[in-house]
Amino acid sequence: MLPARLHFNGRNRRPPRDPANALLSLGYTLLHAEAVLALYGAGLDPFIGFYHALDFGRESLACDLVEPLRVEVDQHALMLFRSEKLRPEDFSSTQSGCLLGKAGRARFYAEWEALAARLRKLLAESISDVANAISAAGAAGAPCPAGSTAPATDTDAEVDDDDF
């Protein structure tokens, strides 16, 4: 699928060792950041997920939302390489991994903005679905999925003398 000159032999990361993996890592990082921002904007906690387990420092709900959108980043990277908007010479490799150079980053970010608008729309739809499911579960008195809490209601703040 990818041009042979990219030396892509499968996914690797931390650090990425070739141009394709460097671009995938960058795209996934940006997508994750978009998810976190959108979740905070919607009043949801990005750390409490449904599929990704709670783990210190991991924004599990953001990870959950990113998974089905990774293919968008994959297709975008493929398009950038096939159209030669990005080429192997736009990257540098060192012991620290493979990095996208300044000129390549400028072209990447110009192209990214078109994709980001679509990703933001898809994230907003998914976040709306999650918020509605949480609200419905809380309103019905049903337990929410593990790791989440039902939304507070006005009656939650009332204290009865018998509680003490």
* Inside any domain, residue 98: yes
Percent of the chain with pLDDT over 70: 80
Q: How far is residue 50 from each of residues 43, 65, 66, 76, measured CA to CA in Å?
A: 16, 10, 13, 27
User: For residue 45, what are the contacts with CB-CB under 8 A and spacing of at least 6?
Assistant: 39, 61
Q: Is the pLDDT of residue 110 over 80?
A: yes
User: For residue 13, what are the contacts with CB-CB under 8 A and spacing of at least 6?
Assistant: 21, 24, 25
> pLDDT, tens digit, for every residue of 45-102?
999 888 887 778 899 999 999 999 999 999 999 999 999 999 999 999 988 899 999 9
Q: What is the pLDDT of residue 12?
A: 78
Instruction: Tell me which residue range forms the domain holding 61.
Output: 4-151
The CATH number linked to 81 is 1.20.120.920
* Inside any domain, residue 164: no
Give how many domains the chain has, as a whole number. Answer: 1
Predicted TM-score (pTM) above 0.85: no
* Inside any domain, residue 157: no
* Inside any domain, residue 9: yes
In three state form, how does the secondary structure of the chain look?
CCCHHHCCCCCCCCCCCCHHHHHHHHHHHHHHHHHHHHHHHCCCCCCCCCCCCCCCCCCHHHHHHHHHHHHHHHHHHHHHHHCCCCCHHHEEEECCEEEECHHHHHHHHHHHHHHHHHHHHHHHHHHHHHHHHHHHHHHHCCCCCCCCCCCCCHHHHCCCHHHC
Mean pLDDT of 118-143: 86
